Amino acid sequence: MSRSILFFEVFPEPQAAIGDQSSKSPKRIVVTLRPEDHQSDYQLREKWAFNVLNSFPGEDRFVMVVYESDDKCYELDFSNHTTGYCEELRKQLMQVVNSQDDIEVQSYYYNLIFLITEIWSNPW
């Protein structure tokens, strides 16, 4: 019996292809949060950023890159949550982050990696 299996993998597009952020292709929003003077305010900013991202329905993925005061860095990937990137979302996130460089929008495309055909002597 012949079985065909398709494998798909997601790769970030090269920087040259990211120019048009208004396209409908899936995006990955990266929000970078850097520490401030008060740790409690910093933790509130993390929750605030999450709530803003979660309040815009859509199919775009998002992660938060969180820096601690000792220069340790963590990437929080919210794989079970999505957002809808738009200009209003960017405006609201600008109130949370330290600079516009702390919001990065990456386009994604789906790339067919390979097609495997195997012949199994026994069916599944």
pLDDT in tens, 59-88: 999 999 998 878 889 999 998 999 999 999
Evaluate whether residue 1 is within a structural domain.
yes
The answer to whether 39 and 119 are in contact (CB under 8 A) is no
7 pLDDT above the threshold of 80: no
Write the pLDDT tens digit of every residue in 91-108. 999 999 989 999 999 876
56 pLDDT above the threshold of 70: yes
- Stated pTM of the model: 0.67
Evaluate whether residue 112 is within a structural domain.
yes
Evaluate whether residue 93 is within a structural domain.
yes
User: Count of domains in the chain?
Assistant: 1
- Domain containing 78 equals 1-12+46-124
Count of Cβ atoms closer than 10 Å to residue 107 Cβ: 19
Evaluate whether residue 109 is within a structural domain.
yes
Phi-psi region of 70 (alpha: psi -120 to 50; beta: other; left: phi over 0): alpha
Q: What is the pLDDT of residue 114?
A: 32
The tokens describing 73, both together, are 């860095």
